[in-house]
Structure 1
Amino acid sequence: MLFYGNTNGLAAHGEQNNDNANIKIIAGIGSFEDKIGNEISQAIPQELFNLLEQHNEFFYSVHVKDSYLACHQSHGAPKNVLFFQGIGKRSALQQKLLDIYSRNVLVAFENICLKVEGEESQREIVYMLGEAVESRSNETGFHLKRVAQLSGILARKLKLPDTHVDLIIQASPLHDLGKIGIPDHILHKPGKLMLKNGK
């Protein structure tokens, strides 16, 4: 058995600037449960933290006594770290399996982070497009937020699945996107539009 007894462990995620001082603990078990949110430098032995500074490889791992440190970093991405303490003696096969497991976990975590980052970027782009349209309109402030909230309320009343409700809320800032191509003299014309206005 690879892990047994009183195993302590943590997972940590770095900031985009590759500064090792900004690698924060995002999960912990055992003695690391109360360290979540702290910097990794405050939790692991200094000699192992120094190794994070020295290595810039895609994946590396270090087995020291009863401790294990694994780090994964794709080009330009933040570092992701796993650290286990109290895992006992390991055979060469167990160490190899631990490396494979750690590499897969760290790559999966990086993919999740990239997916979340991409979704956040999409939301920001949609919202900025909506604001660009709103800036040309005579609507009062917070129009986009009100439309998003009302869209969500209506979608929930229709008992749509949560994923659909989220998509409707995210897409709602684009409801006036067609206004971008309309000249201001038509967009702000008081009264009814005549056929001649469309030419």
Structure 2
Amino acid sequence: MRHGKKDNHLSRTHSHREAMLQNMASSLILHKRIETTLAKAKELRKFVEPILTRAKDDTFVNRREVFRALNDKDTMKELFGTVADKIASRPGGYTRIIKLGNRLGDNAETCLIELVDFNELLLAAASEKAAATTTKTRRSRRGTGARTATEAAPVAETAVAATAEEPSAEVVEDEAPAAPVAEATPTEEAPAAPAAEDDSTEPKA
């Protein structure tokens, strides 16, 4: 029984399957991209990515294990030279599968499997996208600063208006005591009227 065994045998014996994966891995490392069926590409990805991880650390043990898997000196030279330098900073996910549609003869799903760090067009597009995102972020920050300055201007104008209105309030306070002084003059003239009436009554007596 094959409980939990999810490997695709690809309708081949073990030796045939291993030889096929070795050849496909060597072609992928040398040419950086190959076209194959989707089922083979998925199995090749599981086969070649551990090899690429070992190639990042150039030791005798890793070279021996990689040569046991690939069995090709030209591939070893390319892998531990050019490819290892390119993938040194990548923590995993060295390959990319791009579906191409179905094959005309047997209607099999075909795809392109490639090394991620060797697709110059996609790398250039990704860098341009990152630059555009950074530019947008800077513009939004500048816009926020401009809005802050615009919002600060009305606050400053309000403060100036408040300081301009303060002297007028003081003037009202100064004028407030002047009102009782104006009312005091009629009260002083009020006793003068009865005095005049007394003078008029004296000649009548």
TM-score, normalization by structure 1: 0.28
- The higher-RCO structure (CA 8 Å, 6+ apart) is 2
The structure where helix makes up a greater share of residues is 2
Structure with max Cα Rg: 2
The structure where strand makes up a greater share of residues is 1
TM-score, normalization by structure 2: 0.27
